[in-house]
């Protein structure tokens, strides 16, 4: 098969997959680049959509991440799913309120893997995953400050205030204003 016809064949497979996903998931599926698809959904539909995606062959939960959109007042929770049958990555994005961030857990589908990813997001961003029985911190011991990965948490200021002493000659350099 020549390079061009191979490319065309891949493209038709891709278009077919997008159509299939659109009809079965009931939302627009966008094409980003080769083997990268993404979609935006309502947070209430997360368990339902993930279950459907899993049944459609997106069986590997690569990771869950949170982006803090401070100006918008929203947290964006992103689920990256890979399919071993279609060889495509589907990114499911959903926005939740920043003030009371909560979303349903998807541990009914991916069990321990989803729970661990959610534990990380809970610890670093304070997102509450309802239905996850174990949201104990993974990394930070005895931390009672705000979730450290939030955009409005300035760790440089925090460290200066909590860890350094202005009167200590060795540490006062951290308090000098840069010109």
Angstrom distance (rounded) from CA 121 to CA 132: 12
By C-alpha distance, which of 80, 78, 47, 46 is closest to 61?
80
Task: Classify the phi-psi angles of 30: left when phi > 0, otherwise alpha if psi is within -120 to 50, otherwise beta.
Answer: beta
Nearest approach, Cβ of 56 to another protein (angstroms)?
15
Among 19, 146, 155, 172, binds another protein (CB under 8 A): 155
Residue among 23 and 84 whose Cβ is closer to another protein? 84
> Which residues between 26 and 85 bind another protein (CB under 8 A)?
32-33, 35-36, 59-63, 65, 67-68, 78, 80, 82, 84
Residues that bind another protein (CB under 8 A): 32-33, 35-36, 59-63, 65, 67-68, 78, 80, 82, 84, 87, 89, 91, 110-113, 115-117, 137-141, 148-149, 155
């Amino acid at each position: 098969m020549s390079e061009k016809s191979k490319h065309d064949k891949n493209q038709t497979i891709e278009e077919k997959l997008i159509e299939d996903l659109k009809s079965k998931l009931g939302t627009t599926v966008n094409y980003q680049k080769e083997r990268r698809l993404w979609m935006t959904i309502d947070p209430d539909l997360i368990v339902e959509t993930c279950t459907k995606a899993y049944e459609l062959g997106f069986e590997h939960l690569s990771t869950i991440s949170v982006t803090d959109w401070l100006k918008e007042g929203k947290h964006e929770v992103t689920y990256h799913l890979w399919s071993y049958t279609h060889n495509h990555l589907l990114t499911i994005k959903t926005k939740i309120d920043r003030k009371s961030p909560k979303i349903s857990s998807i541990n009914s589908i991916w069990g321990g893997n989803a729970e661990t990813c959610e534990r990380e997001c809970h610890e670093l961003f304070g997102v509450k995953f309802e239905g996850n029985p174990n949201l104990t911190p993974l990394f930070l011991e005895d931390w009672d400050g705000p979730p450290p990965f939030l955009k409005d948490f300035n760790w440089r200021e925090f460290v200066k205030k909590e860890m350094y002493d202005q009167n200590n000659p060795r540490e006062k350099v951290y308090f000098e204003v840069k010109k």
